[in-house]
Amino acid sequence: QVQLAESGGGLVQAGGSLRLSCAASGRTFSIYATAWFRQAPGKEREFVATIVWSGASINYADSVKGRFTISRDTGKNTVDLQMNSLKPEDTAVYYCAASATYSTYSRRRYDYWGQGTQVTVSS
C-alpha cells in the first residue's frame, strides 16, 4: 500500500501563486508515476499533470500548460505542483494520485489517492 498526503492549499488572489506538496509513504518503491487531479464543485475530477517517478516523462493538461510545474524529489518521496498565474477557474480540490503501472491522464489508472487539498482563487 501507498499513502499520499497533500498540503499547501489555500486562498489566493487571481494572478498569484501556490505550491502544493504530496508526501508519499509506505511501499513507495512500487510507484511508477504520480499525478495531480482537481475537482471543482459540480464537475468531474480532471487531470492536471503527471510525472514518471524517474522524471523521464512529464505531461500537463492544456489548461495549465505554461502556468503549472510538476516536480518530484525521490529522496524525500514528495511530488510538488507549483501553480503560477492562478485564475478563478483553477479553484478546486486538488488530489495527488499514484500508479504502479501507468503515467496517464485517466484517473481510472491510478491506484492510490490522497484526501485532497482546497485551492481557492478569488477574482
Determine contact, residues 32/103, Cβ cutoff 8 Å.
yes
- pLDDT score, position 74: 85
- pLDDT score, position 102: 87
To the nearest whole number, what is the mean pLDDT of the chain?
Answer: 95
- pLDDT score, position 56: 82
The three three-digit cell numbers of residue 105, written as one number: 491522464
Cα distance between residue 84 and residue 107, in whole Å: 24
- Percentage helix, strand, coil, to 5, in the chain? 5, 50, 40
pLDDT digits (tens, 9 = 90+) for 94-115: 999 999 998 889 999 999 999 9
Phi-psi region of 115 (alpha: psi -120 to 50; beta: other; left: phi over 0): alpha
User: Average pLDDT per run of 10 along the chain, which is 123 residues long?
Assistant: 96 98 94 96 97 91 98 93 98 97 90 97 96
